[in-house]
Amino acid sequence: MTSFGVIAEGVTDYYVIRSVLLGAFGAQGSQEPFIYRIFPREESATADGGWTVEKKFLLKREHLSALTTTDYLVVRIDTDVCDNPGFDVARQESGRALNPTELRERVIVRLKEWMGQDTQPHMEKIIFAVAVDAIECWLLPLLVTKPAKAKKTTGCSGAANDELRKRNRSTLSTGSGEKSLEAYRVESKPYQKYAELNNKGVQNPSLADFLGDLQARNIQLT
């Protein structure tokens, strides 16, 4: 069975990625990939996470052991604070704001630096899932009907929660910012259907880029 390990900022990310991967390979019939979480290790929305902790995980080369036990490794991160010290990816170049694809590419370069030269021989097994600006932006196409909102790359958490409240459904996070694992599981589940993912998911720029990367690799499940 083809396996995918997931390294992310938080557990909520894992559930979104899992749904996306299941949908992406849905056209291959009854075969499903085996998807498991490598980091964060704890099954909790409050587990120690975030980009700084993920960076430390990669700098310590803790991902290398996973490369020997999994067919593919998905490394997932947001760009919402990519210009913070320590992340150091500028949002603008020559006075021009980078578009989502350009920003994604710059962040991938930074992730490769964190992963180190000893990761280079395994790079064909690594798939970067960079959300511009946040993983909640990937969920918006499932919740809105206007194309402009589906393409949003900022303020996505608040926009998603507003749409969920209109439907009397549980929000992704509370007023205090605490995230709900169950809400992310439920709201990302429609992406497990190939048609839904390729109809709605591609409306979001960075999710479309991730799906394009997957497609280009022509991965055949075994």
Per-residue pLDDT of the chain in tens (222 residues, 90 and over written 9): 999 999 999 999 999 999 999 999 998 987 899 999 999 987 766 666 899 999 999 999 999 999 999 999 999 999 999 999 999 999 999 999 999 999 999 999 999 999 999 999 999 999 999 999 999 999 999 999 999 999 999 999 999 999 999 999 999 998 777 899 999 999 999 999 999 999 999 999 999 999 999 999 999 999
195: amino acid identity, one letter: A
**Residue 55 resides in a domain:** yes
For the entire predicted model, the pTM comes to 0.96
Residue type at 50 in one-letter notation: G
Q: Would you say residue 75 lies in a domain?
A: yes
Beta bridge partners of 35: 4
pLDDT at 203: 97
Tell me which residue range forms the domain holding 138.
Answer: 3-217
What confidence score (pLDDT) does residue 48 get?
Answer: 66
| pLDDT score, position 46 | 61
How many domains are there within the chain? 1
Answer whether residue 165 is part of any domain: yes
d(CA 194, CA 20): 9
Q: What is the pLDDT of residue 42?
A: 78
Task: Give the Å distances, CA to CA, from 146 to 102, 111, 150, 157.
Answer: 24, 33, 6, 17
Instruction: Note whether residue 129 is domain-resident.
Output: yes
Q: Quick one: pLDDT at residue 47?
A: 66
In a domain, 26, yes or no: yes
For residue 222, tell me if it sits in a domain: no
Report pLDDT for 176: 77
Domain assignment present for 178: yes
In a domain, 61, yes or no: yes
Q: String of b and e for 107-146 (b: at least 16 CB within 10 Å)?
A: bbebbbebbeeebeeeeebbbbbbbbbbbbbbbbbbbbee
Q: What gap in Å lies between CA 95 and CA 209, rounded to an integer? A: 24
